[in-house]
């Protein structure tokens, strides 16, 4: 995998500027893969001119006989967890089974398994497909589980889906798939889901295991194969989506204001909703809709606006050329990848009036003049 540079047209910034760019659009040149995406930044730091990412992650898919699934485990220090991984019958690490995330908490697994016959190892018969590391968050299901299903396979021929937990010490019962995850996976496979097998606290020997590489690595990049799975999932969900009496809105605002316990949201989102409503947007609370209805909404929309977060990842299902305005409180590389792989006409506004100290949990205040400027640059005020 060779990272492809993405650069910012610094001529659009004030001469000699060392801080944030102005409210004039700064375009990120699209990757050389030929994506039709157009992405512009407003009030983003100048340092992003040096950002690089990969849009050519290598796609690998292999089947192993008598594979060994080693569980996620704590290190002897008790702090950093091994990511858990698949090993061949000969004990070699299957590198593309590791979690697609760069994070200091996740340490690399041993390249060779010392013990190829762990005591008390159970055996899973039949044909199994490796579905990766699971966590309940909607955004992580979209970007970490679905990308494993890029191969065009007959998924109905598999007897089992194999999952890892996100962290060590999680029981299999705690990983029961939520309804939206089941719907997304059913759409990815194009068939009813087979039984699930969780690699919890003990190793597992698998008679036949298919392992595909993740086509999306958080904060690192994506592979072109990813477009196939989102297209397949979207098509299958649209087929089952309920009819919309009176039609679906062409302009959609994806709100976070009804999320319970959400501490990373714009505290003045009601003001944002009022502003976008005057521009003809319908305010939608995605978590209150079925997955089929959510995908149908973004597939039908000409324009989508929302604050950064997992709901905006739904844009992966939007039609190429759909206008998207992302109201950001932080640097959001994963959303930029979504914009490019879906071929969107996106404007990213650093809408937070002040720097957010803790990007995961802190409430932030949106500068409404910046929000309005983002709508204007995207041509959504006319």
Print pLDDT tens along the chain (382 aa).
Answer: 333 333 333 333 332 333 456 677 777 765 556 678 888 999 987 666 456 778 888 889 999 999 999 988 766 555 556 678 999 999 999 989 988 765 666 667 888 988 888 777 899 999 999 999 887 888 889 999 999 999 999 999 999 999 988 767 666 666 678 899 999 999 999 989 999 998 878 899 999 999 999 999 888 888 888 889 999 999 999 988 888 767 899 999 999 988 776 567 899 999 999 999 999 999 999 999 999 999 999 999 999 999 999 999 999 999 999 999 999 998 888 999 999 989 999 999 999 977 765 555 678 999 999 999 999 999 999 7
Domain spanning 4-55+242-377: CATH 3.40.390:
no
Query: HSE-up of 312 (CA within 13 Å, CB side)?
Result: 29
Residue 57 CA to chain centroid, in angstroms?
15
The pTM (predicted TM-score) of the whole model is 0.87
Question: Residue 234: enclosing H or E segment and its boundaries?
Answer: helix 226-240
Domain ranges of the chain: 4-55+242-377, 61-223
Tokens of 312: 């905006």
Query: For residue 7, what pLDDT is reported?
Result: 33
The 38-42 sheet, strands edge to edge = 26-28, 38-42, 345-350, 323-328, 303-307, 251-254, 282-284
Question: Residue 112: enclosing H or E segment and its boundaries?
Answer: none
Beta carbons within 8 Å of 125's beta carbon, 6+ residues apart: 159, 207
Query: For residue 102, what pLDDT is reported?
Result: 58
Beta carbons within 8 Å of 305's beta carbon, 6+ residues apart: 251, 252, 253, 254, 276, 281, 324, 325, 326, 327, 375, 380
Give the three-class secondary structure for 207: strand
């Amino acid at each position: 995998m060779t990272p492809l540079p993405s650069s910012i047209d610094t001529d659009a910034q004030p001469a000699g500027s060392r801080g944030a760019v102005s409210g004039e659009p700064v375009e990120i040149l699209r990757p050389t893969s030929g994506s039709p995406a157009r992405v512009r930044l407003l009030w983003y730091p100048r340092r992003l001119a040096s950002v690089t990412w990969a849009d050519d992650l290598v796609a690998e898919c292999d089947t192993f006989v008598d594979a060994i699934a080693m569980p996620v485990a704590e290190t002897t220090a008790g702090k950093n967890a091994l990511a858990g991984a698949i090993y061949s019958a000969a004990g070699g690490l299957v590198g593309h089974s590791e979690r697609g995330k760069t994070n200091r908490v996740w340490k690399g697994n041993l390249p060779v398994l010392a013990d190829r016959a762990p005591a008390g190892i159970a055996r899973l018969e039949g044909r199994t497909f490796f579905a990766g590391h699971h966590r309940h968050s909607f955004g992580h299901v979209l970007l970490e589980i679905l990308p494993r299903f890029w191969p065009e396979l007959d998924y109905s021929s598999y007897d089992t889906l194999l999952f890892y937990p996100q962290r060590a010490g999680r029981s299999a019962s705690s990983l029961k798939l939520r309804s939206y995850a089941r719907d997304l996976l059913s759409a990815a496979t194009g068939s009813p889901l087979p039984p699930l097998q969780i690699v919890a606290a003990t190793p597992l020997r698998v008679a036949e295991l298919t392992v595909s590489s993740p086509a999306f690595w958080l904060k690192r990049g994506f592979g072109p194969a990813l477009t196939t799975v989102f297209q397949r999932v979207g098509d299958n969900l649209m087929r089952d989506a309920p009819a919309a009496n009176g039609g679906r809105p062409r302009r959609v605002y994806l709100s976070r204001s009804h999320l319970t316990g959400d501490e990373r949201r714009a505290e003045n989102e009601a003001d944002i909703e009022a502003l976008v409503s005057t521009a003809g947007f319908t305010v939608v609370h995605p978590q209150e809709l079925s997955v089929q209805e959510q995908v149908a909404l973004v597939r039908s929309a000409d324009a989508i606006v929302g604050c950064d977060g997992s709901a905006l990842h739904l844009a992966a299902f939007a039609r190429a050329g759909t206008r998207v305005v992302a109201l950001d409180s932080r640097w959001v590389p994963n959303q930029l990848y979504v914009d490019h792989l879906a071929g969107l006409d996106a404007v990213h506004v650093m809408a937070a009036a002040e720097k957010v100290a803790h990007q995961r949990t802190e409430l932030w205040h949106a500068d409404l003049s910046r929000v309005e400027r983002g709508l204007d640059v995207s041509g959504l005020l006319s």
